[in-house]
Amino acid sequence: MKKYKIFVACDTSNINFVRKIIQNTKNRKLEIIPKFGLQFFYSENGRKFLEKFKGNFFLDLKLNDISATAKAAINSIKDLKRCRYITIHANGGLEMMRAVKKEAKKTNKNLKILGVTVLTSLNNRSLKETGHTKNINQIVRKQASLIKKSGCHGIVCSAQEAKFIKMKYKNLFVVTPGIRLPGDKKDDQSRVVTPFDAFVKNQADAIVMGRSLTKNNIKKNIQNLINHIY
């Protein structure tokens, strides 16, 4: 039976809640890795927690700056040896992504760089409001080509774009956020799919899940996820 990879979003600054999430999402049928974003990383004790954390983790910082600054940011987390994935934004451009990839190769050979495309909270209307003249599919396809060209290990995109990306760039590791179990609220997401559709129909390599797993009874949510996928 295939062991699906799930990144569970620890979107909190509460250390005790993070420990609860990690403890209650442990499961032999799934490969579950905690994902820490800006809220946790910027919190008073978040950085210290990650310095001592014994397991592998995903750092979702979406770096987007000039090449020198993005490169320096990668160097500044070289002590976080258990960090296995980090996000940078494709909007930063080809040279920035190449600089980050090069720096990561020197500081942490196990660190995989994932290029973020259009956020799953956005839709075509949102993009038009910011001045874009192309639609989401066109933008994501262009960003995917840059991510591939930069040498980054993977891409973060909606599951709605994942199938095309996987077909064209077979070696790119495709991660899809905006995932909800059937019946769950969309909340602030626009382009939402279920875990089954992401993995089976759209060929994602990994998915990101937050509230569908961490709200209320975490162990029960994990079991619901297993029942849904398998």
Residues identified as active-site:
62
Scanning the structure block, which residue is given the tokens 């179990």?
Answer: 181
**Closest to 78 (Cα-Cα) out of 106, 114, 107, 54:** 107
In our burial notation (b when 16+ CB lie closer than 10 A, e otherwise), range 56-74 reads: ebbbbbbbbeebeebbebb
CA distance 215 to 115: 28
The three-class DSSP label of residue 30 is: strand
CA distance 146 to 124: 21
Q: Is the dihedral of CA 114, 19, 50, 62 positive or negative?
A: positive
Length of the chain: 230
Scanning the structure block, which residue is given the tokens 């909270």?
Answer: 121
**Closest to 111 (Cα-Cα) out of 164, 156, 63, 74:** 74
- Residues 108 and 56 sit within 8 Å (Cβ to Cβ): no
Token pair recorded at residue 129: 């409001």
Token pair recorded at residue 216: 């209320």
